[in-house]
Structure 1
Amino acid sequence: MFFDAFGTDSFLLLTALLLFSGVLVAKFSSRWGIPALILFIMVGMAFGSEGLGIVYFSDAGTAQVIGVFALVIILFEGGLHTKWGTVRSVAVPSLSLATFGVLITSLIVGLAAYLLFELSWLESFLFGAIVGSTDAAAVFAALKERNIKAKMGATLEAESGTNDPMAVFLTLSLIELITAEQASFWMLIPTFFLQMGLGLIIGLALGKLASLSINRIKLDSSALYPIFSVAFALATYSITAFSGGSGFLGVYVAALVIGNSELTYRYSIFQFNEGFAWMAQILMFVILGLYVFPSELFTASIMVNGILLSIVLILIARPIAVFLSMIKMNYSTKEKLFISWAGLRGAVPIVLATFPIVEGLQNSQALFNLVFFVVLTSALVQGSTISLVAKKMNLVGPKKDIPHHSIELISMGKAKAEMIQYQTNAESAVVGKKLHEVSFPNRANISAIIRNNEVITPYGETEIKAGDFLYILVEEKYKQQLKKTLEQRVQKSEQLMKEKDASS
């Protein structure tokens, strides 16, 4: 095992160095315009045996376990932050892309692999299946804080969150067809519907159970609630997989349910999972970078064939898949072209490429290197140009206003109180009113207002403005009443008056 090669002290120091490196390159990722996953992989290569020579890592099984664990955490965090109201409007096209889109992409890329290499049909389509899906980690990271139009962002995020199960199913099925003498293609069809159905049902059930449990259980420390949520994520994957369903689909569905439910300590849960997902992403890509050997990856054969397959994937297979799977849907040609370009490949194909190695398939290591090179090409070419392409196609939305501030609280588990964060907008009924004019519940106190990244000390005469972040301390039993007050909307005539006053 990889971990046996180090003593405890050395292993902890190495882990610290890898995390330090990952955090530092993440800081410069957006500044340099390079996707973070490329930099994380480069860190792994730098620490590997053909870099600084600190780590020799060639255990495909360990890489696979770490990759699957990290993907569960990343999918869970992505699902938590996905608004159901947004996803519902793009559910049909996203699911079509996640199923038919992946299948069409896999077939076209598989055909290209068959024509280019001396592979059997099944081995060629195995390659196509491995690179057929977009990657949740890459897409979530690429779109975060970028002002892409909401419709485009929601479609891409929902697709990447739900197409992993299709890619996993196709990959494992093709491996079974290659290795098992009695395997039948037609027997795979009911297996697919069984896996997707169980993933959906178990995900919904455990997501609902998790939401109820988080709200009803009374823990002594608020720090335990995020850990509780992660336990549900891992349990959802395991229970779904043991039941014969798609664990990845189960996790994403459960996260959607949890993230769109009323949760106690919601802020703590979301913040913890965001940080944990970053750590999982760093760990996963660094480990994958350690596993690959540059001398085998950057050979003339791999690079030439990898570029050819990347061209097929990016410029032919993906656009055809998008246009065919989105026929008669309410998307313009320009929007479909952008969705085609933004279909990033990332960790999922690389992790899936370890499955043939673990199963001992012929040419599996060469297949892994080829997949790795295609992913690097996709991430570097597409990932670094998403904002530019969106701007050229006039698909840029309003700038995302994400608060980079927080109010830290001591544990209030026994006090049964919670700090609520709420951002106002032009339609909010409370906008334009002074605090003493708003009918807040008796047990609700505004602790702070953040306006233009500055803290405003609230008092009775403070006027609430659009875009303000309100931090309100409220007892749990008055939370619903507070929510109704905050979510009241002004009538259109009043809104026009407000806009007129604001413009004057």
Structure 2
Amino acid sequence: MDHALLSLEDFMFIASILLITGVLTTKISSKLGVPSLILFIIVGMISGSEGLGLIYFDNARLAQVIGIIALVIILFEGGLQTSFKTVRSVAKPALSLATLGVLITTSIVAVAAKLILDISWLEAFLFGSIVGSTDAAAVFSVLKGQNVKERLGATLEVESGTNDPMAVFLTISFIELLTNDSPSYLLIFGSFFWQMGMGLLIGFLAGKLGIFAINRVNLESSGLYPVFAVAFALLAYSITNFVGASGLLAVYLAAMFIGNADLTYRHSIIKFHEGFAWIMQIVMFIILGLLVFPSQLLTFDVIWKAVLLAVTLIIIARPIAVFLSTTRMGFKWRDKLFLAWAGLRGAVPIVLATYPLIAGIENSPMIFNVVFFVVLTSTLLQGSTIAYFAKIFKLTGPKKVEPRHSLELVSIGKANAEIMEYEVNEESPINQSIIKNIDFPDDVLINAIIRKNELVTPSGDTVIETGDILYILVSKKSKPTMNRLLKS
């Protein structure tokens, strides 16, 4: 199909088919044990000019823009569901992996790239920088629902959410060295601290501003609150990038502050962004699949080089980086082996591989194709075996059970009230209490109890049990009191 003559109807039809196919592949991927992002990429490749010919796409700059927007949404959703308690428990190893680990991985892969690809040292380090970081979209997607031990899963998620700035900094720095005849090494080195420092500062400010606005602005519909929240993710990224700092770091940090706050319509905001992040994953990976041409990717020259580099990355570089970066941090050798194996590559390396294409680096087409194949190998091999390795190494925790019930939280208009969702555990102060004996404020009412996936209609004589999920109608003025009561 000629992309120049693509009508609006044709575009909408193709987009709908691609989205439907993308959503259905998530069901197929769970049955096959293959990460869904692999299938999204395959859908894009099949839909391209060398497949079914539905769409001709070779615009690296547009793919980069779409990829970055998608990464912002995915990182924001991941940050919303990352608790500060979890971050504090794994901050040291996660940040060490996100900085020192990326440097070590980059250096080892660069040596291999120099030998295998027969390119200059600067281009080799550029290649190493592109594949040096784990990918948040891939890690969040693969770990979701897995019963990997909490500390290991948290380390991987925080690492993947915070190591993109290092990879972006290294990639841009080596492109600068390749394209500038007289680069300033001091300026490049200083820019790292500027990017990290301003990213942290703006992320903190955007998060606090977002919390204040979401809780203080009384919108007409609850459906507007998720849109309002995502606006602060885009704001954090754009302002941070405008001042030459790390926008992705700012987004992830802002999301953590917003996600850990006591928010109005928190349930709606979280659920909206789960779906939004899935949409952006589907769109991003299909676009990246469209960008690659199988005739250039699936050649013997690309395949053997990419396989050797993937083996170097997975078997040598990542394990060495993990073992060195987490020295004396309380991890056993089995933990470290799992952290090494679960260091998935995904969209970030492919998006970063578009930077040399746009900059016109001499060997950029070859670098892009090799990076693409390395990502496919990493995701397919590692992503499909994470649960198996966790089981073999005995690193699984209690099985994660997704609740099958749902309760639509609708806008209560101007009533200045909302519904809280609270799960009772063994340490909960109201566990084993009779409802009429609990010292709730007068304007608080337990509307429903979900017990063992069954609805229980509460009465004054109902006893609260471990595992109960309570839906509590509370006025906004009494919400702080309720939070103190339920946490005491």
**What pairs up with 1:226-245 in 2 under 5 angstroms?**
226-245=226-245
1:96 corresponds in structure 2 to 96
1:408 corresponds in structure 2 to 408
1:166 corresponds in structure 2 to 166
**What pairs up with 1:14-29 in 2 under 5 angstroms?**
14-29=14-29
1:154 corresponds in structure 2 to 154
Q: Helix, strand or coil: the match of 2:344?
A: coil
- Mapped contact 1:3–1:11 kept (Cα < 8 A): no
Cα deviation 1:383-442 (Å, max 9, x = unaligned)? 011111111111101112333432113322411111111111111122222222222221
1:384 corresponds in structure 2 to 384
Q: Helix, strand or coil: the match of 1:88?
A: helix
1:361 corresponds in structure 2 to 361
Q: Which amino acid aligns with 2:376?
A: L
- Residue 5 (structure 1) shift: 4.8
**What pairs up with 1:54-73 in 2 under 5 angstroms?**
54-73=54-73
- Mapped contact 1:74–1:277 kept (Cα < 8 A): yes
**What pairs up with 1:243-254 in 2 under 5 angstroms?**
243-254=243-254
Q: Helix, strand or coil: the match of 2:386?
A: helix
1:13 corresponds in structure 2 to 13
Q: Which amino acid aligns with 1:85?
A: K
Cα deviation 1:346-389 (Å, max 9, x = unaligned)? 00000000111111111211111100100000001100111111
Q: 1:312 to 1:5 in 2, by over 3 A?
A: farther
Q: Determine the C-alpha separation between the residues in 2 that align with 1:161 and 1:409.
A: 29
- Mapped contact 1:41–1:288 kept (Cα < 8 A): yes
Query: Identity of aligned pairs, percent?
Result: 58
Q: Helix, strand or coil: the match of 2:58?
A: coil
- Mapped contact 2:3–2:56 kept (Cα < 8 A): no
1:257 corresponds in structure 2 to 257
Number of aligned residue pairs: 487
Q: Helix, strand or coil: the match of 2:473?
A: strand
Q: Determine the C-alpha separation between the residues in 2 that align with 1:207 and 1:262.
A: 13
Relative to structure 2, which stretch is displaced further, 454-463 or 172-181? 454-463
Q: Determine the C-alpha separation between the residues in 2 that align with 1:359 and 1:405.
A: 51
2:323 corresponds in structure 1 to 323
The gaps in structure 1 that reach 5 residues or longer are 489-504
- Residue 208 (structure 1) shift: 0.5
- Mapped contact 2:268–2:409 kept (Cα < 8 A): no
1:175 corresponds in structure 2 to 175
- Residue 451 (structure 1) shift: 1.8
Q: Which amino acid aligns with 2:214?
A: I
2:395 corresponds in structure 1 to 395
1:496 corresponds in structure 2 to none
Q: Helix, strand or coil: the match of 1:222?
A: coil
- Mapped contact 2:417–2:474 kept (Cα < 8 A): yes
Q: Helix, strand or coil: the match of 1:34?
A: coil
Q: Which amino acid aligns with 1:36?
A: S
TM-score by length of 1: 0.95
**What pairs up with 1:244-323 in 2 under 5 angstroms?**
244-323=244-323
Q: Which amino acid aligns with 1:395?
A: L
**2:468 is the alignment partner of 1:468:** yes
2:218 corresponds in structure 1 to 218
Q: Determine the C-alpha separation between the residues in 2 that align with 1:274 and 1:123.
A: 38
Q: Which amino acid aligns with 1:401?
A: V
**2:410 is the alignment partner of 1:375:** no
Q: Helix, strand or coil: the match of 1:296?
A: helix
**What pairs up with 1:96-115 in 2 under 5 angstroms?**
96-115=96-115
Q: Determine the C-alpha separation between the residues in 1 that align with 2:303 and 2:112.
A: 16
Q: Which amino acid aligns with 1:171?
A: T
Q: Determine the C-alpha separation between the residues in 1 that align with 2:436 and 2:443.
A: 14
Q: 1:197 to 1:404 in 2, by over 3 A?
A: farther
Q: Determine the C-alpha separation between the residues in 2 that align with 1:390 and 1:6.
A: 47
1:82 corresponds in structure 2 to 82
- Mapped contact 1:137–1:347 kept (Cα < 8 A): yes
Q: Determine the C-alpha separation between the residues in 1 that align with 2:404 and 2:246.
A: 35
- Residue 187 (structure 1) shift: 2.6
Q: Determine the C-alpha separation between the residues in 1 that align with 2:404 and 2:189.
A: 47
Q: Which amino acid aligns with 1:327?
A: T
Q: Helix, strand or coil: the match of 1:101?
A: helix
Q: 1:42 to 1:397 in 2, by over 3 A?
A: same
Q: Determine the C-alpha separation between the residues in 2 that align with 1:288 and 1:21.
A: 16
Q: Determine the C-alpha separation between the residues in 2 that align with 1:48 and 1:452.
A: 47
Q: Determine the C-alpha separation between the residues in 1 that align with 2:452 and 2:367.
A: 51
Q: Determine the C-alpha separation between the residues in 2 that align with 1:4 and 1:180.
A: 36
Q: Determine the C-alpha separation between the residues in 2 that align with 1:358 and 1:70.
A: 19
Q: 1:202 to 1:388 in 2, by over 3 A?
A: same
Q: Helix, strand or coil: the match of 2:38?
A: helix
Q: Determine the C-alpha separation between the residues in 1 that align with 2:140 and 2:328.
A: 27
Q: Which amino acid aligns with 1:161?
A: G
Relative to structure 2, which stretch is displaced further, 405-414 or 40-49? 405-414
Relative to structure 2, which stretch is displaced further, 154-163 or 3-12? 3-12
Q: Determine the C-alpha separation between the residues in 2 that align with 1:413 and 1:100.
A: 50
Q: Determine the C-alpha separation between the residues in 1 that align with 2:430 and 2:145.
A: 27
Q: Determine the C-alpha separation between the residues in 1 that align with 2:402 and 2:442.
A: 29
- Residue 50 (structure 1) shift: 1.5
1:204 corresponds in structure 2 to 204
RMSD: 1.3
**2:430 is the alignment partner of 1:430:** yes
Q: Determine the C-alpha separation between the residues in 1 that align with 2:274 and 2:43.
A: 21
Q: Which amino acid aligns with 1:451?
A: R
Q: Determine the C-alpha separation between the residues in 2 that align with 1:407 and 1:423.
A: 14
The gaps in structure 2 that reach 5 residues or longer are none
- Mapped contact 1:218–1:413 kept (Cα < 8 A): no
Q: Determine the C-alpha separation between the residues in 2 that align with 1:384 and 1:452.
A: 31
Q: Which amino acid aligns with 1:415?
A: A
Q: Which amino acid aligns with 1:104?
A: I
- Residue 486 (structure 1) shift: 2.1
Q: Determine the C-alpha separation between the residues in 2 that align with 1:6 and 1:261.
A: 46
- Residue 90 (structure 1) shift: 0.8
- Residue 298 (structure 1) shift: 1.2
Q: Which amino acid aligns with 2:487?
A: E
2:483 corresponds in structure 1 to 483
Q: Helix, strand or coil: the match of 1:427?
A: coil
